[in-house]
Amino acid sequence: MKTSVKNSRGTWLALLWFGALCSIAGMTIFLPVGWDLAIYQRAIKDLQGGLDPYVAGLLYPPSFVRLLRIASVVPAVPRQIFYWLFYAAGFGAQLWAGFKLAMPSERRVLQWALPLIVFFPGFMPNEVILCGNIAIPIYGIVLAAAVRGWERDQWGWFYLAVVAASLVKPPYLGLLSIPLFGGRKQIFKSASAAGLGVALFAAQKLIWSYEFGEYLGTVQTASVFRNGAGHFESFGFSAAGVLASALRAMDKPFVFSSALFYLGYGSVLFALFVYFRWQYRLGRVRSHTWLTVLLLGTFLLSPRILQYDALPATVPMFLLVIRGWKDTVGRWIVIAGFVGAAAAFAANRDDLEVALAMWALLVSGLLGLYREVHLSKRSVGVESGELLPAQ
């Protein structure tokens, strides 16, 4: 009987994955896909024709242009096939890394949620999964390397992956907060990796000074006005970005206010990281719960979150839904977050929709960590007789 039930579940799970893969096939046929990949293809054509890729608004440092030069040697069709295979492997690595954060009791539920991420990655319209941005495979590599770190406290491959990724997008150096707060005795190594990444970025100004100046110019011009939500001019899904978008829509100054807002909540979140890292080192919170919250919080520390930055946070978000639902207060926080996200979706505010979902789940996760600390202290107190009623 148990074997029959197990086979039945396996059949339904396989059908769910089949449906998810069919949805991807349908999107490639009926919807525009690979819009970010088109930017790389345009840059490659410019390089092959002896043109300047920064004229078309390429938002990547000169080191990435060197990678495009290498790619330009490969014929177009094999190059695209290889890239999409690399892309799919990167997204699969994101799911695998997130699955490793789940406790054994949660994996039975999470295995059903993984195919749903293909339908609604990061709680966004599902065509986002096929944007083609190189961030998808990069996040896959970095998170796959992080698994070795949080399971064995061996972070060498992670540091290598993050520093290499920073040659494509310098903000990836922010991911170094994962070993800083989630590892043991990683302060010096994290700082060294960050210093190396900054040095490599600065060295490009000396090696490719003209191109570096063009790169900074395109970033300064385009980063603020880029359409981050797909419907209106947006600053992305971060809390500071949502505020900046709202102020700009009202034709009010937004730079100082949004920067001050970011420094405020960023400082609070950083302080909470320091506190819970201390509790984690004391053994008062479990590694799975701490690392899940840390991973989501690390993404939210970024001042500008776009679609592809929300994708790797999706599995931790699902895990926090599962954990938050078990607690009375946490359940209401999760419900409030999703009600707000649904209202934002109805109002065509994709940036606010994603931000509300992510922050509600982070708050729920932080509440869960606090409860673990409280229960741990109480358990120790009872064992030592401190919390026993007076005789």
Q: Mean per-residue pLDDT for 328-340?
A: 91
Pick the closest to residue 337 from 325, 349, 355 (CA basis).
355
Check whether 232 has a pLDDT greater than 50: no
pLDDT digits (tens, 9 = 90+) for 47-58: 999 989 998 778
What would the pLDDT profile of 126-155 be if each residue is shown by its tens digit?
A: 567 888 999 999 999 999 999 999 999 999
Question: Are 174 and 305 part of one and the same domain?
Answer: no
- Chain-wide mean pLDDT for the chain? 87
Dihedral sign computed on CA atoms, order 158, 161, 164, 170: negative
Q: Is residue 201 part of a domain?
A: yes
Residue 387 has pLDDT above 50, yes or no: no
Point out the domain boundary residue: 222, 243, 263. Answer: 222
Same domain assignment for residues 120 and 246: no
CB count within 10 Å of CB 110 equals 18
Residue finishing a domain among 199, 222, 245: 222
User: Are 32 and 179 contained in the same domain?
Assistant: yes
Percent of the chain whose pLDDT exceeds 70: 90
The pLDDT of residue 390: 31
**Is the dihedral angle over the CA atoms 4, 6, 11, 12 positive or is it negative?**
positive
Query: Are 128 and 183 found together in one domain?
Result: yes
Q: Which of 182, 145, 179 is nearest to 164 (CA)?
A: 145
The answer to whether residues 56 and 189 belong to one domain is yes
Total structural domains within the chain:
2
Rounded to the nearest 5°, which phi and psi values hold at 251?
60, 40
Q: Is residue 42 part of a domain?
A: yes
- Is 388 domain-assigned? no
Residue 390 lies in a domain: no
Question: Residue 228: pLDDT band by 50, 70, 90 thresholds?
Answer: very low
In whole angstroms, how large is the CA radius of gyration of the chain?
Answer: 22
Query: Do 109 and 240 belong together in one domain?
Result: no
Same domain, 218 and 238: no
Residue with tokens 């939210």: 300
What are the residues whose beta carbons fall under 8 Å from the beta carbon of 112, sequence distance 6 or more?
A: 13, 16
Give the domain range for residue 189: 1-222
Is 344 part of any domain? yes
How far is residue 372's CA from residue 290's CA, in Å, rounded to a whole number?
Answer: 10
